[in-house]
Structure 1
Amino acid sequence: MPAIETRDLRKTYVSHKKAPGIMGSIKGLVTREKVEVEAVKGVDLSIEQGELVGFLGPNGAGKTTTLKMLSGILYPTSGEARVLGYTPSDRNPEMLRQISLVMGNKQQLWWDLPAWDSFVVLKELYEVSEADFKRRVDHLVEALQISDKVNTQVRKLSLGERMKCELVAALLYAPKVIFLDEPTLGLDVVSQKRIREFLKQLHQEEGGTFLLTSHYMQDVQELCDRVVVIDHGSVVYEGTLEDLSERFSDSRRIRLAFSTPVQEMDLVRFGRVVERSEEGAVVEVPRAETARATAGLLESLPVSDLSIESVDIEEVIRDLFERK
């Protein structure tokens, strides 16, 4: 049985539109125009136990709304969702003890108390034994290198330290399904790297099921087995990043190093010049023309080194959204 499964999952938000001015306010007392916005449009997901899946999409695509429905925070307008065999909107206590939601722009720790106090409250809330709590927290705190921070008021911690404490709080009761919504949002590259390494190690050791959203493609590339891409509330791709690049990018990039400087006019006849310097250049060509362009470059220019690369995955995804 999949750990996470949805069928035609939908969420529609309803609001009321008011005409401007006093007359609009008076008119609104009598009749109001209803506006419906479909945030999620028939999403089908199937994530097996132990998978680590990236959930990608631009702002407003419906990622966070989907996670909130899967964690039971929001009720779906229609469709079905199952997490560990439970219906999330039922808020079954047995399900809630086995899932966790971490949001990079929200916090569950009390602002004016040390993180440790929040850990103790969560221990009681999730009925974690004293022995399990000590073993679990000690392991997480050591892995995240925050042993000297857990007794400091949360509001005095840096963003990276606070995010690490949030992860401890979310994982101290060993949930089986973890929803991660932008866990590295706003962090510096060092903090991002440490959190990625921690999540990778945790997944290898415990084999939990992770659904991760992130605008940092490095997070997804280093962590995820496969990805689901959502845009305007609908799934537009599901598979590996490598297959995504092959499917939606019809070009290759030839990276060149020169023994003597080359003019840009000598390069444009082979393809689009993406980068150029005295030492080298990068030329983008259609995939079908890669062999011909490579042969022409080697024959006509002073090439000392050459490599063929796929287009960066961030550019592929950006182009995919722009096409949509």
Structure 2
Amino acid sequence: MTSLARRLASANTLWIGLVLLGLIAVFGALRPDAVLTVFTLQTTLVETSVLLVLSVGMTYVIITSGIDLSVGSVLVFSGVTSAMTMNALNGGDATGAGWGTVLVGLAVALLSGAAWGLLNGLLVARAGIPPLIVTLGSFGAALGAGQLLSDGSNVSGVPDVLGEGLGTGTWFGVPNLVLLAAAVTAVGALVLGTTRFGRHTYAIGSNEEAARRAGIGVTGHLVRVYLLAGVLAGLAGFMALAYFRVASVTGHDTDNLNAIAGVVLGGTSLFGGVGSVVGTVLGVFIPAVLRKGFVIVGVNVYWQPIAVALVLVAAVWFDQSRRKARNQR
């Protein structure tokens, strides 16, 4: 029992979960009539779905001790290409398009994200360019490409069936966007925690050279990790397109930073080798709860990024302290 208690006390996920529950308790005590409601829960889940899908891919990247600053721009690019493709197929008639058009749009979004993810992976793994530089470059390139294609304007005309089916549709009262994000998260957690792909991801993040000597194909694996992050960014772009019914070229400027913050708050180490998708889920909801809680209780919304920054710095400090303590044993 003592050993179990020690393991629980040292588990990042436990402490992150307690922080999240503490925030909910505080805001719930201040405004129980508005915070502790089904409507607030539902809207918070929907608003967080797109970011959660982005963060699942980011979790894999950061566990390998990498970084991907491009996911927000890839989301924009994928949404633009998907919307323009569906508009071309339906002749601009949003009401007449069917699910066939929507499936083509989904395929275009996923392929667009995959193309940028593959490019990032090849430049990082094969060319040996630092991930920060590679993804900073693709951050600007993907956003610029999306703006060029759309002539700097938002792309509307999304098929009604997409908006009503995925964007605002529900299944037994649960929003379809939330169900899709939950499915992606569950698969991401299962792959990371139980498969060889997940074990290799942890091994590369812990010690890349040791992983290579152990027979792991580090180069190919890193390419696949960045490819995964790109595909999920493309899916997130399609989900945002369904929800807002427009491909926005200006509304996702900080999505990359929000995804990184959620992953780090969830206990994934920036030094690599440590992290979980479950922790990422909790980490993503901390800023979401802060933002929603501040709005409900009437606190100036500009305090939200300050609060998130303080929690983020504290999380990184805790991670560094834990690593130093472990290395001194």
TM band (smaller chain): under 0.3
Structure whose alpha-carbon radius of gyration is higher: 1
Q: How high is the TM-score relative to the length of structure 1?
A: 0.20
Q: How high is the TM-score relative to the length of structure 2?
A: 0.20
More strand by share: 1
- Bigger relative contact order, structure 1 or 2 (CA pairs below 8 A, ≥6 apart): 2
